[in-house]
Structure 1
Amino acid sequence: MNRTTHAILAFALLAGASIMALPASAQEARAPDPAATAVPSVTAVELVRWPAAEARQGVAADKEYFYPNANNRIGKYDRKTGRRVAQWEGPRALFPHMNSCVVEDRELICAASNHPSVPMASVIEVFDTATLRHVRSIALPPIPGSLTWIERKGDDWYGGFANYPVERGGEPGHDNRWTRLVRFDSHFRATGSWLFPDAVLARFAPMSNSGGSWGDDGLLYVTGHDRPEAYVMRLPKAGSVLEHVATVALPTAGQAIAWDRTQPRVLWSLDRATNTVVASRVPPVPVTP
């Protein structure tokens, strides 16, 4: 089965299921691995780093605060001081795996799943940024993979669905080649689906797509689980496979990311090994959307 047929069949399944200023330091990330430089590459420059106990999966930010998250915990931290001002923790039985969050108006929109349980099921958990109170859950239709990130672009929502080998919590027959980007309408009905190119899947391996966020340049920046890199993707003019157009060397290793919508070209990420949150400035990439 070729990749185009694979994508068509997969999307048929979806349709059938109804379906503050930042203080400046100047620590640069390592240069991209030569294996990832078949496309143009740039290096992000670290601006600030804060410790955060919840920095295990992802981090979001608004003008005044940043919000790191773990599987069933979210912290709220002052961007000027790095001081935690609030924390939420939910029962692990109900919140087994929140992988990332993004600020949308006055809400945190969090991508969650039942990972590593199978069959995989995905849900969007919504929180009030002022209080961190859990507001609602949006159960998604059956889609191959676990939702790892979700973000709005225009009138649509885009989400990454990770697939893993069985020994890493995947479903039989669905390794990371089944990892996909899915577009939803405002009612979270799937309206499009794209696979990742082999070169990016190889960088994800043996894991999958952990984070994603749309840049102000119209390009999609995605991360894997382990490597200190973000892969810049473009929707294809034709076909079913995303285009890898550039690579960004990051000062952090994998996990979820979020663009800062209040500072130009500032990307938030985390260092899981040290439980720290990092904001970096990413140079413009020499490609067009």
Structure 2
Amino acid sequence: MLRSSALTRWSLPLLLVGATAWCGQALAEGREQVQEPPATSWKFEEIHRSPAAEARQGVAVDAAHCYVIDNREIGKYRLDNGERVALWEGPKGGPLTHLNAGIVREGKLYCAHSNYPSEPTVSSVEIWDSATLKHVGSHSFGHFVGSLTWVDFKDGFWYACFAQYAKAGAEPGKDPSFTEVIKFDDQWRRLEGWVFPAALVAKFRGNSSSGGGFGPEGQLFITGHDARELYQIAFPEAGSELIWTGTLPTTFPGQAFAWQHPGQGLLFAIDRGKRQVVAGRVVKQP
């Protein structure tokens, strides 16, 4: 009994000290995990704004026009004078209910679409002729890994973000940490997938990534739902977690955006509260 009591008297404090040290280390590691990246060498500069009634979800752009996207409407506007020259409207109760980001590629407008905020989620890519705004095609993912919010095409591959939420549209047992960026071949066959780091997911505040695309120097930039920020993202050499490498303050509150000339950093976004299209440039700071 004396032997056991002595052991208890000496070992318990040592165990507590060890546990305290371990907890302190874990907390320190946790703080390191949520620490934001250092200041980026890129910055966003606004150029101009123009009104657009459909500016609620996102915008796509080509050489002469921007395509302003609402849940089931797309307005085509001239870039030189802001005149709306065409309007596509989906019927109430029709198959298209929540359009999001879009890109223009080879004369076609590709838009991310989902049934958000309904669940279980279903998603598709919807396609229009950019000249006429006639709906010409669709690729359905059916039940997949989340609500499709944005797509982009780079070096022969599609990249698409499938969002999960903690608020409206949340699927049972999932939250924004389940948001996934997936790489497909040109026939929409899945090749790879990645998730966002926990610190960046925390910035989404229960929402997810609403916009994304490859900009200057081939860098991937994304937006959240409402923060006036662009997040610079790198792909990992190993593992499944994307790398958050920088944050650019912006003048537009999240949502989907599009690059006009990615190499030149020309970017179009929306300010949904003001129903405006925002044009700007992402440039490297000297």
User: Per the shorter chain, which TM-score range?
Assistant: 0.7 to 0.9
Name the CA distance, whole Å, in 1 between partners of 2:115 and 2:142: 14
Match of 2:162, SS state, is: strand
Match of 2:197 in 1: 197
Name the CA distance, whole Å, in 1 between partners of 2:189 and 2:242: 20
Give yes or no for contact 1:181–1:193 (8 Å, CA) kept in 2.
yes
Over 3 Å counting, the alpha-carbon distance change for 1:262 and 1:173 in structure 2 is: closer
One-letter code aligned to 1:159: A
Match of 1:177, SS state, is: helix
One-letter code aligned to 2:70: A
Over 3 Å counting, the alpha-carbon distance change for 1:36 and 1:49 in structure 2 is: farther
Match of 2:14 in 1: none
**Alpha-carbon deviations, 1:26-57, whole Å to 9, x = none?**
xxxxxxxxx85534264311111010001100
Match of 1:115, SS state, is: coil
Give yes or no for contact 1:41–1:249 (8 Å, CA) kept in 2.
no
Q: CA RMSD in A?
A: 1.6
One-letter code aligned to 2:72: N
Runs of 5+ consecutive residues of structure 2 not aligned to the other structure: 1-34
Match of 1:143 in 2: 144
- Please show how residues 120-269 of structure 1 align to structure 2 within 5 Å: 120-140=121-141, 142-165=143-166, 167-261=167-261, 264-269=264-269
Name the CA distance, whole Å, in 1 between partners of 2:155 and 2:260: 17
Over 3 Å counting, the alpha-carbon distance change for 1:263 and 1:47 in structure 2 is: farther
Q: Which of these two proteins has the greater Rg computed from alpha carbons?
A: 2
One-letter code aligned to 1:135: V
Give yes or no for contact 1:41–1:247 (8 Å, CA) kept in 2.
no
* Higher helix content, 1 or 2: 2
Name the CA distance, whole Å, in 1 between partners of 2:172 and 2:263: 43
Deviation at 1:141, TM superposition (A): 5.0
Identity %, equivalent residues: 43
Over 3 Å counting, the alpha-carbon distance change for 1:103 and 1:246 in structure 2 is: same
Runs of 5+ consecutive residues of structure 1 not aligned to the other structure: 1-34
**Alpha-carbon deviations, 1:244-279, whole Å to 9, x = none?**
111111110010011112771111110000000011
Name the CA distance, whole Å, in 2 between partners of 1:172 and 1:262: 38
Aligned pairs, number? 251
One-letter code aligned to 1:113: S
Give yes or no for contact 2:37–2:245 (8 Å, CA) kept in 1.
no
Match of 1:64 in 2: 64
Match of 2:127, SS state, is: strand
